[in-house]
Amino acid sequence: MQELTLAIFDLDHTLLPLDCSAQWAARMQQLGWVAGAQFRARHAALMAEYGERGLDMQAYLQLTLEPLRGRCAQAVAEAVQQLVDEHLLPAVYAQAWRLLQTHREAGHSLLLVSASEDFLVEPMGRALGFTHIFGVPCARQDGCFTGAPGGPATYAEGKVRCVEAWLAGQQARVRRSYFYSDSHNDLPLLHWVSDPRPTNPNARLQAEAQRLGWPCLWLDPQQAASA
């Protein structure tokens, strides 16, 4: 069985100072795919709850996937790619590009594991050079979105299960592992790896990092540049 060194990355507020799902929600409003005021109010309420108690993933996916019900996956992909090219990719921290390159040059296996929807995470991951990319699965049927989730969410403990399932599929075991994340919601995977790396941590994660002696990485939001 091969032994791997893993470098696992969260995406939102870790590699870039934005939340892809929130940016996509705003883009759907611009496209006229959602009822603006009602959608904004519900989305804001869920995000506030996320910051305080954690995300109600079922409620969030119901809100954000319902507007995609019956929409052609290709049309959604084109709208997402425009968002990635114009807004998300230029926001990636310059230091994040260098960090990714450092792990690649060391021969590590890079994984992107995000709680954002898979149709957002996959194009971002490809643009960042990842080959192993995991986001919340969103169901498609006959080339269209169904408006429903498509599998277990890559959120909280779900990220650990995702990485373990990937390792099993690779028939590999871990020699050493790093995980970069900003959020206390990722504590399960931060505890799972050998080298947790809180990155621009929120207050709850920073407090836990200080308690456990984990080194924190701070990326400068003024340094954003594409590779």
Find where tokens 């990722």 sit. Answer: 186
What integer pLDDT is reported at residue 51 of this predicted model?
Answer: 64
pLDDT tens-place string over residues 159-180: 999 999 999 999 999 999 999 9
Q: 10 an active-site residue?
A: yes
The reported pTM is 0.93
**What three-state secondary structure class fits 215?**
coil
The Cα 130–Cα 65 span in angstroms is 25
C-alpha 129/C-alpha 139 separation (Å) is: 25
pLDDT at residue 164, rounded to an integer: 98
pLDDT exceeds cutoff 50 at 5:
yes
3-state helix, strand, coil in the chain (%, to 5): 50, 25, 25
What average pLDDT does the chain have?
93
Q: Which is the catalytic residue, given 12, 118, 182, 186?
A: 12
Q: Is 2 exposed, middle or buried (0-12, 13-18, 19+ CB in 10 A)?
A: exposed
Spatial neighbors of 191 by CB under 8 A, at least 6 apart, are: none
Confidence band of 226 (pLDDT split at 50, 70, 90): very low
Q: Would you identify the CATH topology of the domain 2-212?
A: Rossmann fold (3.40.50)
DSSP secondary structure of 128-190: TT-SEEEEE-EEEETTEEEEEE-S---STHHHHHHHHHHHHHHTEEEEEEEEEES-GGGHHHH
Token pair for 43: 């989305």
- Domain ranges for the chain, please list them: 2-212
Rounded to an integer, what distance in angstroms lies between the CA atom of residue 101 and that of residue 83? 24
Catalytic residue, chosen from 10, 118, 182, 186, is 10
Q: Which amino acid is at 86?
A: E
Residue 142: active-site member: no
